[in-house]
Structure 1
Amino acid sequence: MKRWLWMAAMVALMMYGTAFAAPATGVDDTATQIMTLAGDHRLVVLGEYHGTAETPLLVADLMERYSRDNAPVRLGLELPMSENAALARYLRSNGDADAREALRTQPFWRVKDDQHDGRRSRDMLALIEALRALRAQGRDVGVAGYDIEISAYDSDVDRDAAMATHLRQQFNALPTGTRMLVLTGNVHAMRHPFADAPPEMKHRTMASYLLDLPLYSVRVEALRGQSWGCLKPCRAITLPERPARDPVAETDADRSYDVWVYLPELSVGTLTDP
């Protein structure tokens, strides 16, 4: 990993009030595994547990590696598309206190308590800052949201279908040869639901609408740790502990993911301030 990138990320995390060291143990290895297995696929969908400290570091690592040698890379985040103008402004800014405040006070980031699914964290803000630092160094990187408005979540809008439509439009608008990484919840990243999934999870997922594209779906798991989830109430959720294992690739036509990768550990990130 380029030393300047992680120095920039360290500064960003200090600004956002989160302690930071070098990339978490295993992040480098997992990034290498994903890049090796995804090969030439231009649409790499990362299915995560929301609200962790390690996944934003993994994504920052992948964006840095993929964007070397002037390669163009874009990142899709599970944020409403109404946030895209603010994201673009921040990437063009110098990242100073005023720019950070302008980003953090956008509607998506303004939460009054911890009752959200973990997508709003200082770790995610630091990921965006890492992309700004890459761009300032001349890298061809960008970031955009693809989600619907939060107010529409409980409506009759098919959220997965709408997100897939937005991603398809963004992907099709990319210059030739541009790679796109997409960070999303692990259910949205499924190519097909699990065979033994309960009825409420048998719906079409976001990734299932995009299988005609050069898509590679990655389930980002961990051997141990916690994530943040909303199971009434929202709280830290302990993950099942597993022995060390290599990535598990799937090849069946009805596979849920193309590969499962395993970080050594996940921990709950730092939620944004009230």
Structure 2
Amino acid sequence: MSDRSVQYLIVGDYHGTSEIPVFFADLICAALEEGRSVNAVLEWPATATSAIETYLASAGAQQDRLALVSALGASTDGRMSIAMLDLADGLRGLRAEGRTIRVSAIQPSEVEAGGQEVAMAALLQAASQAHPDDLNLVLVGNVHAMKAPNPRMPDLRPMAAFLPAANTITINTVGYFGEAWNCRGTPGSEAPVCQAWPLRPGEPGPRRIELTPGDSLFDGRYSVGRPFTASRPEVGENPADR
């Protein structure tokens, strides 16, 4: 992170865990300790930018948090989880301490089919151009974080592939162990079931980041140092509960 040529450090997220937002917050703190100004970029609706700024300037009371949740809208895929709202509260605390930190939301609205990736990249680059000295620390779903199309989805050019390669580093989690809160289709169910789903058994190894030369999709990988635990939506697990 001390390499000032790096403008974008993109963290591939597996939505719905408690650990990845904490890991991301620690990356932000490490960059600030190195003297970098940081733009924390989240996969939240760009339409909620004003509400996010209001929350960052607030006292972080329960009514402030509820107003932010309302502005973010209903989502059960982990992007508006308790852990993600806790991350926002940590960013609010850093701002209150006088740290130079900005927050950008890059989930576009009303884009044409297939246009989401380029729209996300455009929003990210616009934020970077407004504050060119910032390190843009980006937390997005791991498909968006790929630097080239996944062979299983060859027609999808991911968000990170639209960014300048020389100034971009992408990392993805080592493994999916433990549980994560997300929505999956199940046999006999008319709608996806949203709950804490078990991931494959195993141990992720020590907490670390390592580069992976030769990987066509990511520049490196990271481990949170423990199996994942599920983080449920901030309010209810189904849209009807919100």
- TM-score range normalised by the length of the shorter chain: 0.7 to 0.9
Q: Secondary structure at the match of 2:174?
A: strand
Deviations 1:11-54 (A, max 9, x none): xxxxxxxxxxxxxxxxxxxxxxxx58x88623100001001101
- Which residue is 1:64 aligned to? 29
Distance 1:249 1:144 in 2: 26
Task: Considering fraction of residues, name the structure with more helix.
Answer: 1
- Of 189, 200, 210, the match for 2:145: 189
Instruction: Please say if residues 70 and 140 of structure 1, whose CA atoms lie closer than 8 Å, have aligned partners that are also in contact.
Output: no
Instruction: Please say if residues 195 and 232 of structure 2, whose CA atoms lie closer than 8 Å, have aligned partners that are also in contact.
Output: no
Are 2:122 and 1:160 aligned? no
Structure 1 residues 247, 55: closer, same or farther in 2, change over 3 A? closer
- Which residue is 1:240 aligned to? 200
Structure 1 residues 221, 136: closer, same or farther in 2, change over 3 A? same
Instruction: Please say if residues 191 and 211 of structure 1, whose CA atoms lie closer than 8 Å, have aligned partners that are also in contact.
Output: no
Letter in 2 for 1:261: Y
Give the superposition deviation at 1:60: 1.4
- Of 157, 181, 191, the match for 1:228: 181
- Which residue is 2:217 aligned to? 256
Distance 2:230 2:4 in 1: 30
Are 2:84 and 1:119 aligned? no
Instruction: Please say if residues 55 and 64 of structure 2, whose CA atoms lie closer than 8 Å, have aligned partners that are also in contact.
Output: yes
Deviations 1:108-146 (A, max 9, x none): 23x3xxx73111111111101101101111111111101
Are 2:18 and 1:53 aligned? yes
Letter in 2 for 1:132: R
- Which residue is 1:18 aligned to? none
- Which residue is 2:105 aligned to? 145
* Unmatched runs of 5 consecutive residues or more in structure 2: 186-191, 236-241
Identity of aligned residues (%): 30
Distance 2:129 2:95 in 1: 22
Instruction: Please say if residues 225 and 265 of structure 1, whose CA atoms lie closer than 8 Å, have aligned partners that are also in contact.
Output: yes
Structure 1 residues 228, 221: closer, same or farther in 2, change over 3 A? farther
Instruction: Please say if residues 76 and 233 of structure 2, whose CA atoms lie closer than 8 Å, have aligned partners that are also in contact.
Output: no
Distance 2:76 2:176 in 1: 25
* Unmatched runs of 5 consecutive residues or more in structure 1: 1-34
Structure 1 residues 258, 183: closer, same or farther in 2, change over 3 A? same
Q: Secondary structure at the match of 1:84?
A: helix
Distance 1:101 1:248 in 2: 37
Distance 2:33 2:91 in 1: 13
Deviations 1:128-171 (A, max 9, x none): 1101101111111111101112xx37x52511111011111111
Structure 1 residues 185, 201: closer, same or farther in 2, change over 3 A? farther
Distance 2:57 2:173 in 1: 30
Are 2:173 and 1:211 aligned? no
Equivalent residues, number: 226
Task: For 1:54-133, list aligned pairs within 5 A.
Answer: 54-68=19-33, 71-106=36-71, 108-109=72-73, 111=74, 116-133=76-93
Letter in 1 for 2:123: H
Coordinate RMSD, CA, aligned: 2.5
Structure 1 residues 75, 57: closer, same or farther in 2, change over 3 A? same
Q: Secondary structure at the match of 1:77?
A: strand
- Of 220, 227, 233, the match for 1:265: 227
